Amino acid sequence: MRLVLLGPPGAGKGTQAAQLAHRFGIPQISTGDILREHVQENTMLGVKARTFMDRGEYVPDDVVVEMVMERMQEPDAEKGFILDGFPRTVPQAEALEVALAEAGRPLSAVLKFSIADDMAVRRLTARWTCPNCKRTYNLEFKPPAQEGICDECGYVLERRADDDELTVRRRIEVYREQTASLERFYRDRGYLREVDAQAREADVTDRTMAILADIKD
Ligand code: AMP
């Protein structure tokens, strides 16, 4: 499977990408996670990216495209991949299209997760993330068994720097300005499948798997 997950911040792309990656045995390639690792390690790329990320704005296309192209060359991506958070602009989508066409490996599908803005804000402002295994929790809908501790690996949970309400609202706005047009891009090419993401995590996974059952690998 070669999948792209689209949808505004808070739609659950990361959570669903992790589920699908597990079920299909293919890597989840999250540009947000890769960028946050660079920020944490203070690399040149991380220092540059941080100024954009802290404001809820997009990191420049050339930086992100190069990063993804390199990641897709790694052996684990040979069987397929789930792109989570990429592409986010038309130039990124075009770069991906060219690279996949050259490799003779077109996308299988693009899944668009939809959710109302207020629900997205509620989800993200109460989100806590494990810095180690990347599992996410939500104080309101999905709290960890022990407060502040990851159920999976015991690490102390953190809040993402860009999950405060003001930045979340800006991220939703930026999605609308720059990424919503990708729906049309992929609909025109026959790839787009829509998933109502305003439900429990397990229900959204079931809906997604039902859609993918009809997709040729
Ligand atoms: P995410 O973890 O997907 O919510 O991404 C967090 C932040 O990383 C975004 O708000 C952007 O600043 C940056 N980012 C992630 N993916 C991209 C992308 N494909 N293009 C530009 N910026 C990105």
**pLDDT > 80? residue 217:** no
Cα–chain-centroid distance for residue 68? 13
3-state secondary structure at position 54: helix
Of 115, 108, 87, the C-alpha closest to 31 is 87
Cα-to-centroid distance, 53 and ligand 1 (Å): 7
3-state secondary structure at position 126: coil
3-state secondary structure at position 102: helix
Active site residue 88: yes
Which atom of ligand 1 is closest in space to residue 174's alpha carbon?
Answer: 10
Residue 15 · residue 136 · CB < 8 Å: yes
How many CB atoms neighbour CB 161 within 10 A?
Answer: 12
**Residue whose structure tokens are 């109502």:** 196
Q: What is the mean pLDDT of residues 131-140?
A: 90
Cα-to-centroid distance, 65 and ligand 1 (Å): 12
Enclosing H/E stretch for 20: helix 13-24
The reply to whether ligand 1 has any atom less than 6 angstroms from the CB of 32 is yes
The reply to whether ligand 1 has any atom less than 6 angstroms from the CB of 171 is yes
The reply to whether ligand 1 has any atom less than 6 angstroms from the CB of 35 is yes
**pLDDT > 90? residue 82:** yes
The reply to whether ligand 1 has any atom less than 6 angstroms from the CB of 56 is yes
Active site residue 169: no
Task: Compute the mean pLDDT over every residue in the chain, rounded to the nearest whole number.
Answer: 95
Cα-to-centroid distance, 84 and ligand 1 (Å): 10
Residue nearest to atom 15 of ligand 1 (CA): 32
Confidence of residue 141 (pLDDT cuts 50, 70, 90): confident
Note the pTM of the prediction, 2 decimals: 0.94
**pLDDT > 80? residue 216:** no
